[in-house]
Amino acid sequence: MQTKLYAVILSALLLVPSASSAGGFCCQMPTGVGTTGSGNTSLRLDYAVSHMERIISGSAEKDIDEVKSDPRFRKMNGVVPDVMDMERFTVSAAYSPMDRVTVNLAIPYVKNNMVMSMFMGGMWRTGTMDTVSGLGDVVLSGNYMIYRDRDVMPARAITVGAGVKMPTGESTVTSSGTKNRVHAHMQPGSGSWDPVFSATYMNMINSDFLLTADANYQIGMPGSLNYEFGDTASLNTSLSYNALDWMNVSLGLNYFHAEQNDDPDNKYNGNDSKRLTDYSGYTGEDSIWLSPGVQFLPFNNWTVDVKVQCPLYTHTPDISQMTDYRVIAGISAGW
Ligand SMILES: [Cu+2]
Protein backbone atom coordinates (compact mmCIF):
# COMPACT_ATOMS: atom_id res chain seq x y z
CA MET A 1 0.00 0.00 0.00
CA GLN A 2 2.80 2.35 0.80
CA THR A 3 4.10 2.33 -2.75
CA LYS A 4 0.62 3.28 -3.94
CA LEU A 5 0.64 6.29 -1.73
CA TYR A 6 4.02 7.24 -3.13
CA ALA A 7 2.27 7.77 -6.42
CA VAL A 8 0.55 10.73 -4.78
CA ILE A 9 3.91 12.16 -3.89
CA LEU A 10 5.17 11.49 -7.38
CA SER A 11 2.33 13.49 -8.82
CA ALA A 12 2.85 16.27 -6.29
CA LEU A 13 6.46 16.44 -7.39
CA LEU A 14 5.54 18.43 -10.45
CA LEU A 15 3.18 20.93 -8.99
CA VAL A 16 5.59 23.82 -9.10
CA PRO A 17 4.19 27.19 -8.11
CA SER A 18 2.09 27.73 -11.20
CA ALA A 19 0.93 31.11 -10.03
CA SER A 20 -0.87 32.78 -12.60
CA SER A 21 0.32 35.17 -15.12
CA ALA A 22 -2.39 37.18 -13.56
CA GLY A 23 -1.70 37.46 -9.91
CA GLY A 24 -4.60 36.91 -7.63
CA PHE A 25 -7.59 38.28 -9.45
CA CYS A 26 -8.10 35.03 -11.26
CA CYS A 27 -6.21 32.12 -12.77
CA GLN A 28 -4.64 29.31 -10.89
CA MET A 29 -3.58 29.30 -7.32
CA PRO A 30 0.05 28.47 -6.78
CA THR A 31 0.34 24.81 -5.93
CA GLY A 32 2.92 23.18 -3.80
CA VAL A 33 6.12 21.54 -4.74
CA GLY A 34 6.48 17.92 -3.95
CA THR A 35 8.88 15.73 -2.16
CA THR A 36 10.29 12.59 -3.61
CA GLY A 37 9.45 10.13 -6.34
CA SER A 38 10.78 6.66 -6.83
CA GLY A 39 12.83 7.62 -9.88
CA ASN A 40 14.66 10.79 -10.73
CA THR A 41 12.63 12.09 -13.67
CA SER A 42 8.95 12.76 -14.07
CA LEU A 43 6.62 14.46 -16.47
CA ARG A 44 3.19 15.85 -15.89
CA LEU A 45 0.44 17.34 -18.04
CA ASP A 46 -2.25 19.41 -16.37
CA TYR A 47 -5.43 21.00 -17.61
CA ALA A 48 -7.15 23.57 -15.42
CA VAL A 49 -10.21 25.67 -16.04
CA SER A 50 -11.43 28.50 -13.82
CA HIS A 51 -14.95 29.75 -14.29
CA MET A 52 -15.54 33.29 -13.08
CA GLU A 53 -18.99 34.75 -12.85
CA ARG A 54 -19.66 35.80 -9.24
CA ILE A 55 -19.14 39.43 -8.38
CA ILE A 56 -18.12 39.86 -4.78
CA SER A 57 -18.21 43.09 -2.83
CA GLY A 58 -16.38 42.69 0.45
CA SER A 59 -17.61 39.19 1.31
CA ALA A 60 -21.09 39.52 -0.21
CA GLU A 61 -22.16 38.30 -3.60
CA LYS A 62 -23.78 40.94 -5.82
CA ASP A 63 -26.37 40.32 -8.47
CA ILE A 64 -25.09 41.37 -11.91
CA ASP A 65 -28.06 43.72 -12.42
CA GLU A 66 -27.31 45.41 -9.15
CA VAL A 67 -23.69 45.88 -10.26
CA LYS A 68 -24.81 47.31 -13.60
CA SER A 69 -26.98 49.88 -11.83
CA ASP A 70 -24.11 50.95 -9.54
CA PRO A 71 -23.38 54.62 -10.41
CA ARG A 72 -19.65 53.91 -10.25
CA PHE A 73 -19.91 51.79 -13.42
CA ARG A 74 -23.05 53.20 -15.02
CA LYS A 75 -21.10 55.95 -16.78
CA MET A 76 -20.00 56.47 -20.37
CA ASN A 77 -17.50 53.65 -21.17
CA GLY A 78 -18.02 51.95 -17.81
CA VAL A 79 -17.13 48.24 -17.93
CA VAL A 80 -18.55 45.27 -16.01
CA PRO A 81 -17.46 41.65 -16.63
CA ASP A 82 -20.19 39.06 -17.23
CA VAL A 83 -18.35 35.75 -17.50
CA MET A 84 -14.71 34.77 -17.78
CA ASP A 85 -13.23 31.32 -18.38
CA MET A 86 -9.52 30.81 -18.04
CA GLU A 87 -8.04 27.58 -19.35
CA ARG A 88 -4.49 26.51 -18.77
CA PHE A 89 -2.53 23.52 -20.08
CA THR A 90 0.75 23.00 -18.29
CA VAL A 91 3.56 20.63 -19.19
CA SER A 92 5.89 20.14 -16.24
CA ALA A 93 9.11 18.23 -15.90
CA ALA A 94 11.03 17.39 -12.77
CA TYR A 95 14.53 16.06 -12.63
CA SER A 96 16.56 15.06 -9.63
CA PRO A 97 20.26 15.50 -10.45
CA MET A 98 21.34 14.41 -6.97
CA ASP A 99 19.93 13.17 -3.70
CA ARG A 100 17.48 15.62 -2.05
CA VAL A 101 17.56 18.05 -5.00
CA THR A 102 14.87 18.48 -7.67
CA VAL A 103 14.74 20.93 -10.55
CA ASN A 104 11.30 21.75 -11.95
CA LEU A 105 10.23 23.40 -15.16
CA ALA A 106 6.59 24.27 -15.88
CA ILE A 107 5.50 25.50 -19.30
CA PRO A 108 1.90 26.77 -19.49
CA TYR A 109 -0.29 27.45 -22.47
CA VAL A 110 -3.23 29.68 -21.63
CA LYS A 111 -6.57 30.41 -23.23
CA ASN A 112 -8.78 33.16 -21.80
CA ASN A 113 -12.34 33.96 -22.79
CA MET A 114 -14.47 36.82 -21.57
CA VAL A 115 -17.95 38.21 -22.05
CA MET A 116 -18.24 41.76 -20.78
CA SER A 117 -20.57 44.74 -20.90
CA MET A 118 -19.79 48.35 -21.65
CA PHE A 119 -22.08 51.28 -20.88
CA MET A 120 -22.55 53.32 -24.05
CA GLY A 121 -25.30 55.65 -25.21
CA GLY A 122 -27.23 55.21 -21.99
CA MET A 123 -27.34 51.41 -22.05
CA TRP A 124 -25.25 48.33 -21.33
CA ARG A 125 -23.96 46.56 -24.45
CA THR A 126 -22.73 43.02 -23.92
CA GLY A 127 -20.12 41.44 -26.16
CA THR A 128 -17.69 38.55 -26.34
CA MET A 129 -14.02 39.54 -26.43
CA ASP A 130 -11.53 37.90 -28.75
CA THR A 131 -10.07 34.78 -27.18
CA VAL A 132 -6.58 35.45 -25.89
CA SER A 133 -4.30 32.41 -26.09
CA GLY A 134 -0.64 31.58 -26.18
CA LEU A 135 2.40 30.57 -24.22
CA GLY A 136 2.15 31.69 -20.59
CA ASP A 137 4.91 32.45 -18.11
CA VAL A 138 7.38 29.60 -17.61
CA VAL A 139 8.41 28.79 -14.03
CA LEU A 140 11.83 27.34 -13.24
CA SER A 141 12.50 26.29 -9.66
CA GLY A 142 14.82 24.23 -7.53
CA ASN A 143 13.85 22.28 -4.42
CA TYR A 144 15.87 20.86 -1.60
CA MET A 145 14.69 18.31 0.93
CA ILE A 146 15.89 19.76 4.22
CA TYR A 147 14.44 17.01 6.42
CA ARG A 148 13.46 13.36 6.07
CA ASP A 149 12.94 10.76 8.74
CA ARG A 150 14.86 8.12 6.77
CA ASP A 151 16.82 7.99 3.53
CA VAL A 152 14.76 5.40 1.67
CA MET A 153 11.00 5.88 1.32
CA PRO A 154 10.74 8.52 4.05
CA ALA A 155 7.42 8.80 5.86
CA ARG A 156 7.99 12.41 6.78
CA ALA A 157 9.86 15.03 4.82
CA ILE A 158 10.16 18.79 4.46
CA THR A 159 11.23 20.39 1.19
CA VAL A 160 11.95 24.03 0.47
CA GLY A 161 12.13 25.61 -2.96
CA ALA A 162 12.86 28.83 -4.76
CA GLY A 163 12.54 29.82 -8.36
CA VAL A 164 11.48 32.41 -10.86
CA LYS A 165 8.44 32.99 -13.00
CA MET A 166 9.79 34.31 -16.27
CA PRO A 167 8.06 36.75 -18.66
CA THR A 168 7.76 34.27 -21.54
CA GLY A 169 4.07 35.01 -22.11
CA GLU A 170 2.93 37.98 -24.12
CA SER A 171 1.65 40.79 -21.93
CA THR A 172 0.67 43.48 -24.41
CA VAL A 173 -1.90 41.64 -26.56
CA THR A 174 -4.42 43.97 -28.19
CA SER A 175 -7.92 43.15 -29.35
CA SER A 176 -8.26 42.86 -33.11
CA GLY A 177 -11.23 45.21 -33.33
CA THR A 178 -10.48 48.10 -31.02
CA LYS A 179 -6.67 47.75 -31.02
CA ASN A 180 -6.83 48.41 -27.28
CA ARG A 181 -4.70 46.36 -24.92
CA VAL A 182 -6.77 43.62 -23.33
CA HIS A 183 -7.18 43.56 -19.53
CA ALA A 184 -3.98 42.91 -17.62
CA HIS A 185 -5.44 39.79 -15.99
CA MET A 186 -6.45 38.41 -19.38
CA GLN A 187 -2.94 38.66 -20.87
CA PRO A 188 -1.06 35.34 -21.24
CA GLY A 189 1.88 36.70 -19.24
CA SER A 190 2.64 39.41 -16.69
CA GLY A 191 5.81 40.74 -18.31
CA SER A 192 7.65 40.47 -15.00
CA TRP A 193 10.34 38.31 -13.46
CA ASP A 194 8.76 37.14 -10.22
CA PRO A 195 10.61 35.28 -7.47
CA VAL A 196 8.69 32.29 -6.07
CA PHE A 197 9.26 30.48 -2.79
CA SER A 198 7.75 27.33 -1.36
CA ALA A 199 7.88 24.92 1.54
CA THR A 200 6.25 21.49 1.56
CA TYR A 201 5.58 19.04 4.34
CA MET A 202 4.67 15.41 3.73
CA ASN A 203 3.61 12.92 6.37
CA MET A 204 2.64 9.35 5.59
CA ILE A 205 0.52 8.79 8.65
CA ASN A 206 0.15 5.07 8.02
CA SER A 207 -0.23 2.80 5.01
CA ASP A 208 -3.66 4.26 4.23
CA PHE A 209 -3.35 7.99 4.89
CA LEU A 210 -1.02 10.63 3.52
CA LEU A 211 -1.02 14.24 4.72
CA THR A 212 0.62 17.00 2.68
CA ALA A 213 0.86 20.71 3.38
CA ASP A 214 2.58 23.46 1.49
CA ALA A 215 3.10 27.21 1.63
CA ASN A 216 3.91 29.33 -1.40
CA TYR A 217 4.80 32.96 -1.95
CA GLN A 218 5.23 34.89 -5.18
CA ILE A 219 6.59 38.43 -5.33
CA GLY A 220 4.93 40.47 -8.07
CA MET A 221 7.56 42.65 -9.72
CA PRO A 222 6.91 45.55 -12.10
CA GLY A 223 6.26 44.09 -15.54
CA SER A 224 4.92 45.29 -18.84
CA LEU A 225 4.60 49.05 -19.00
CA ASN A 226 5.25 49.14 -15.24
CA TYR A 227 2.08 47.21 -14.42
CA GLU A 228 2.64 45.29 -11.20
CA PHE A 229 0.60 42.33 -10.04
CA GLY A 230 0.26 42.03 -6.28
CA ASP A 231 2.23 39.48 -4.27
CA THR A 232 0.39 36.19 -3.75
CA ALA A 233 0.56 33.69 -0.92
CA SER A 234 -1.11 30.33 -0.54
CA LEU A 235 -1.39 27.63 2.09
CA ASN A 236 -2.62 24.22 1.01
CA THR A 237 -3.23 21.06 2.94
CA SER A 238 -4.54 17.75 1.70
CA LEU A 239 -5.34 14.35 3.15
CA SER A 240 -5.25 11.36 0.79
CA TYR A 241 -6.77 7.97 1.50
CA ASN A 242 -5.71 4.87 -0.38
CA ALA A 243 -9.26 3.60 -0.92
CA LEU A 244 -8.48 0.90 -3.46
CA ASP A 245 -5.38 -0.69 -4.84
CA TRP A 246 -5.67 1.51 -7.90
CA MET A 247 -7.35 4.58 -6.47
CA ASN A 248 -6.81 7.30 -3.87
CA VAL A 249 -9.34 9.87 -2.77
CA SER A 250 -8.31 13.18 -1.26
CA LEU A 251 -9.72 16.23 0.41
CA GLY A 252 -7.84 19.50 0.40
CA LEU A 253 -8.26 22.84 2.12
CA ASN A 254 -6.66 25.90 0.54
CA TYR A 255 -6.11 29.48 1.56
CA PHE A 256 -5.17 32.07 -1.04
CA HIS A 257 -4.18 35.69 -0.57
CA ALA A 258 -3.43 38.29 -3.25
CA GLU A 259 -2.26 41.84 -2.71
CA GLN A 260 -3.66 44.57 -4.93
CA ASN A 261 -2.20 45.27 -8.36
CA ASP A 262 -0.71 48.59 -9.33
CA ASP A 263 -0.81 50.38 -12.68
CA PRO A 264 1.19 53.58 -12.01
CA ASP A 265 1.08 54.80 -15.62
CA ASN A 266 -2.53 53.74 -16.25
CA LYS A 267 -1.42 51.60 -19.21
CA TYR A 268 -4.10 48.96 -18.51
CA ASN A 269 -6.81 51.37 -17.27
CA GLY A 270 -5.75 50.55 -13.73
CA ASN A 271 -6.63 54.06 -12.54
CA ASP A 272 -10.09 54.07 -14.11
CA SER A 273 -12.60 53.27 -11.38
CA LYS A 274 -15.57 52.96 -13.78
CA ARG A 275 -13.97 49.79 -15.17
CA LEU A 276 -14.65 46.90 -12.82
CA THR A 277 -12.44 44.74 -15.05
CA ASP A 278 -9.35 46.92 -14.76
CA TYR A 279 -9.21 49.30 -11.79
CA SER A 280 -6.39 48.24 -9.49
CA GLY A 281 -8.50 49.26 -6.49
CA TYR A 282 -10.82 46.39 -7.38
CA THR A 283 -8.08 43.75 -7.13
CA GLY A 284 -6.79 41.75 -4.18
CA GLU A 285 -8.42 38.81 -2.46
CA ASP A 286 -8.50 36.42 0.46
CA SER A 287 -10.20 33.10 -0.17
CA ILE A 288 -10.63 29.65 1.34
CA TRP A 289 -11.34 26.62 -0.83
CA LEU A 290 -12.36 23.01 -0.41
CA SER A 291 -10.78 20.62 -2.91
CA PRO A 292 -12.11 17.07 -3.21
CA GLY A 293 -10.15 14.90 -5.61
CA VAL A 294 -9.63 11.41 -6.90
CA GLN A 295 -6.47 9.82 -8.23
CA PHE A 296 -6.17 6.69 -10.33
CA LEU A 297 -3.07 4.56 -10.56
CA PRO A 298 -3.38 2.72 -13.87
CA PHE A 299 0.21 1.46 -14.07
CA ASN A 300 3.31 1.60 -11.97
CA ASN A 301 4.46 5.19 -11.56
CA TRP A 302 1.54 6.60 -13.54
CA THR A 303 -1.22 8.69 -12.05
CA VAL A 304 -4.35 10.27 -13.44
CA ASP A 305 -6.03 12.74 -11.15
CA VAL A 306 -8.96 15.11 -11.09
CA LYS A 307 -9.85 17.65 -8.47
CA VAL A 308 -12.43 20.36 -8.07
CA GLN A 309 -11.89 23.53 -6.06
CA CYS A 310 -14.94 25.19 -4.57
CA PRO A 311 -14.81 28.47 -2.68
CA LEU A 312 -15.92 28.34 0.96
CA TYR A 313 -15.13 31.98 1.65
CA THR A 314 -14.12 34.89 -0.57
CA HIS A 315 -13.22 38.39 0.45
CA THR A 316 -12.07 41.29 -1.69
CA PRO A 317 -11.04 44.78 -0.48
CA ASP A 318 -13.67 46.49 -2.66
CA ILE A 319 -15.44 44.67 -5.50
CA SER A 320 -14.17 41.98 -7.92
CA GLN A 321 -15.26 39.22 -10.21
CA MET A 322 -14.18 35.99 -8.51
CA THR A 323 -13.80 32.35 -9.40
CA ASP A 324 -16.92 30.18 -8.98
CA TYR A 325 -15.07 26.89 -9.30
CA ARG A 326 -11.93 25.44 -10.76
CA VAL A 327 -11.41 21.96 -12.21
CA ILE A 328 -7.90 20.54 -12.47
CA ALA A 329 -7.10 17.29 -14.25
CA GLY A 330 -3.65 15.85 -14.67
CA ILE A 331 -1.66 12.88 -15.81
CA SER A 332 1.86 12.12 -14.66
CA ALA A 333 4.50 9.52 -15.20
CA GLY A 334 7.84 8.98 -13.53
CA TRP A 335 10.81 6.77 -14.15
CU1 LIG B 1 -13.04 42.12 -21.37
pLDDT band at 102; cut points 50, 70, 90:
very high
pLDDT band at 177; cut points 50, 70, 90:
confident
CA of 125 to the centre of ligand 1 (A): 12
CA of 192 to the centre of ligand 1 (A): 22
> What is the per-residue pLDDT for 7?
56
CA of 116 to the centre of ligand 1 (A): 5
Q: Is the pLDDT of residue 211 over 70?
A: yes
Q: Is the pLDDT of residue 10 over 80?
A: no
> What is the per-residue pLDDT for 8?
55
pLDDT band at 335; cut points 50, 70, 90:
confident
Give the mean model confidence (pLDDT) for residues 239-250. Answer: 93
| Distance from C-alpha of 117 to C-alpha of 62, rounded to nearest angstrom | 16
CA of 173 to the centre of ligand 1 (A): 12
Give the mean model confidence (pLDDT) for residues 265-272. Answer: 97
pTM: 0.88
Give the mean model confidence (pLDDT) for residues 214-231. Answer: 97
List, as ranges, residues with CB under 5 A of the ion ligand 1.
114, 116, 129
CA of 184 to the centre of ligand 1 (A): 10
CA of 114 to the centre of ligand 1 (A): 5
Query: How many domains, in total, are found in the chain?
Result: 1
CATH number where 79 lies: 2.40.128.130
**CA angle in degrees (0–180, nearest 5) for 324-326-328:** 175
CA of 49 to the centre of ligand 1 (A): 18
Q: Is the pLDDT of residue 37 over 60?
A: no
For 105-147, how does the pLDDT look when each residue is reduced to its tens digit (9 = 90+)? 999 999 999 999 999 999 999 999 999 999 999 999 999 999 9
Give the mean model confidence (pLDDT) for residues 46-52. Answer: 98
CA of 77 to the centre of ligand 1 (A): 12
Instruction: Report the share of the chain in percent with pLDDT over 70.
Output: 88
Domain that includes residue 44, residue range = 2-334
CA of 255 to the centre of ligand 1 (A): 27
Q: Is the pLDDT of residue 152 over 70?
A: yes
Give the mean model confidence (pLDDT) for residues 184-195. Answer: 97
Non-local (6+) Cβ contacts of 237 within 8 A are 211, 212, 213, 214, 252, 253, 254
Give the mean model confidence (pLDDT) for residues 2-7. Answer: 57
> What is the per-residue pLDDT for 231?
98
Residue ranges with strand state E in 129-262: 132-135, 139-148, 156-165, 194-204, 209-218, 232-244, 247-258
